[in-house]
Amino acid sequence: MFESLTERFEKSFKLLKGQGYITEVNVAETLKDVRRALLNADVNYKIAKNFTESVKEKALGRDVLNSVSPGQLMVKIVNEELAELMGSESEEVNLKGNPAIILVAGLQGSGKTTFSAKLSYFLKNKKNKKVLLVAGDVYRPAAIDQLHVLGEQAETEVFSNKESNDPVDIAKKAVKHARNMGHQAVVVDTAGRLAIDQEMMDEIASLKKALNPQETLFVVDAMTGQDAVKTAKAFNDRLDYEGVVLTKLDGDTRGGAALSIRSVVQKPIKFVSIGEKIDALDVFHPKRMAERILGMGDIVSLVEKAQEQYDEEEAREVQRKIAKNQFDFNDFLNQLQQIKKMGNIKDLAGMIPGMGKALKNADLDDDAFKGIEAIIRSMTPEERQNPEIINGSRRKRIAKGSGNTITEVNRLIKQFEDTRKMMKSMKGNKSKMANLMKGMG
């Protein structure tokens, strides 16, 4: 996401590189390029114009410190303005009701049903809530069945009634059921249309009036660009919703919708949906997103994802093994599984400062570790525990069994041995570890 915008910004800031100080002339030249970058990212013209004018005003109004180059100062100001444009701070979903009712609205094809299931999974696993999913789309063929399938993936109960075509009645009964069964949150999926029409708006307005939800979230496909912003405004004018959800953000390298919606509807972006997996839902953090757009990475989000998979007892055991030089291929395979649980490999790598650009054309997908896993799984239990016994004949067998070449097997074993030595030598030595991290960068 934001790939092309990141590239254009980098080119824009190069115009200031080597300049001794900021002047109205070189700022104007840089911001003209920044405005073009925003327009190419499908950002509304008025928003792009206001954005660059605000950046210019702040750039010319600041004294440039000796330790900061004009280019660095401009990046800092643009970073602050981008975060401000997208809302500055993240906003939590309101869960104060008993149960908390969340109404999900949007056009057909925007990803409402999938988001509803992802939100249920998020509330269950991140907020420790007992959630009820409600199938309120009574028109789209197989919508109810789809929600039941997704509900199984989210390990969440789904309330539906195929005999009824009244979504308000279904939703009311669902809330009553939720109260009786001790559910703490109710997520109501609603019907959409291919385009905005009066009947759809009347129905969603009726649902909101009948349920009085704590949150009404508008789901919009980020790939539709400025159309997404127009649709968001039309829904907000009628529903006055509490927040926006951007879906399919991984399919749009421009990101204009994310940059424009907040300014147009004055409502926060609360979630972004990236990928098809049930756990592929993130709280939207404007400051972190601004840093990613400017190629600074997102270390905070990366650490948070790592902590979700972190097992303290297991980590102590790994540390003990490293100290005794007993870290083996079983441990290595386990660490790979932990990384895979964190999400898409290329997205994770892109959170490391500087890595996004380096990996731009790299073919990294969720199967990036497949070859490594195949090699390790082709080893016997004894070989995994004692890598040093893997001689030439064993390597040939492992290569044949895993569908890899002997060269690939040799490379993995060599890398593993080097890693094991490095891990032992780094233990407790912060200076060496710092140098190692610099080298990896």
Confidence of residue 132 (pLDDT cuts 50, 70, 90): very high
Residues 322 and 408 in one domain: yes
279 touches 254 (CB < 8 A):
no
How does pLDDT run across 301-334, given as a tens digit for each residue? 555 555 555 566 666 776 777 777 778 888 888 8
Residues 311 and 275 in one domain: no
The tally of domains found in the chain comes to 3
Q: In 20-165, where does DSSP find H-type helix?
A: 24-40, 45-60, 70-85, 112-126, 143-153
Beta-carbon contacts of residue 287 (< 8 Å; ≥ 6 apart): 83, 88, 89
Confidence of residue 345 (pLDDT cuts 50, 70, 90): low
Confidence of residue 78 (pLDDT cuts 50, 70, 90): confident
218 within some domain: yes
Q: Is the pLDDT of residue 439 over 50?
A: no
Residue 156 DSSP symbol? -
We report the CATH number of the domain holding residue 136 as 3.40.50.300
Where among 52, 85, 118 does a domain terminate? Answer: 85
Where among 50, 85, 120 does a domain terminate? Answer: 85
Confidence of residue 189 (pLDDT cuts 50, 70, 90): very high
Bridge partners (DSSP) of residue 271 are 245, 283
The whole-number average pLDDT for the span 183-208 is 89
24 within some domain: yes
Q: How far is CA 34 from the centre of its chain?
A: 25
135 touches 165 (CB < 8 A):
no
We report the CATH number of the domain holding residue 312 as 1.10.260.30
10 touches 295 (CB < 8 A):
yes
The whole-number average pLDDT for the span 217-232 is 85
Residue type at 104?
A: V
93 within some domain: no
d(CA 294, CA 353): 10
pLDDT value for 211: 93
We report the CATH number of the domain holding residue 49 as 1.20.120.140
92 within some domain: no
Where among 293, 312, 347 does a domain terminate? Answer: 293
DSSP-derived 3-state class of residue 203? helix
Decide the pairing of beta strands 100-106 and 281-283. Answer: unpaired
313 within some domain: yes
Residues 165 and 34 in one domain: no
- More confident: 60 or 431: 60
How does pLDDT run across 5-51, given as a tens digit for each residue? 777 777 777 766 655 566 777 778 888 888 888 888 888 888 889 99
How does pLDDT run across 272-310, given as a tens digit for each residue? 887 788 988 888 888 888 877 776 654 555 555 555 555
pLDDT value for 361: 52
Residues 131 and 231 in one domain: yes
Lowest mean pLDDT among 80-94, 117-131, 223-237, 244-258: 244-258
Residue 315 gets the label, from left (phi > 0), alpha (psi -120 to 50) or beta, of alpha
Lowest mean pLDDT among 120-129, 263-272, 333-342: 333-342
Confidence of residue 113 (pLDDT cuts 50, 70, 90): very high
125 within some domain: yes
Torsions phi, psi for 147 (to 5 deg): -65, -35
Q: Is the pLDDT of residue 181 over 90?
A: yes
Decide the pairing of beta strands 100-106 and 215-221. Answer: parallel
The whole-number average pLDDT for the span 162-185 is 93
Distances (CA, A) of 25 to 15, 31, 37, 79, 279: 11, 10, 19, 21, 48
Residue type at 214?
A: Q
pLDDT value for 352: 54
d(CA 327, CA 317): 10
The whole-number average pLDDT for the span 70-79 is 78
pLDDT value for 349: 59
pLDDT value for 174: 95
Distances (CA, A) of 157 to 186, 287, 378: 10, 35, 40
The whole-number average pLDDT for the span 42-67 is 77
14 within some domain: yes
State the residue range of the domain holding 357: 302-440
Q: Is the pLDDT of residue 67 over 50?
A: no
What is the helix (H) or strand (E) element at residue 396, kind and residue range? helix 392-402
DSSP-derived 3-state class of residue 392? helix
Q: Is the pLDDT of residue 413 over 70?
A: yes
Q: Is the pLDDT of residue 175 over 90?
A: yes
| Helices and strands counted in the chain (H then E) | 21, 8
Residues 194 and 59 in one domain: no
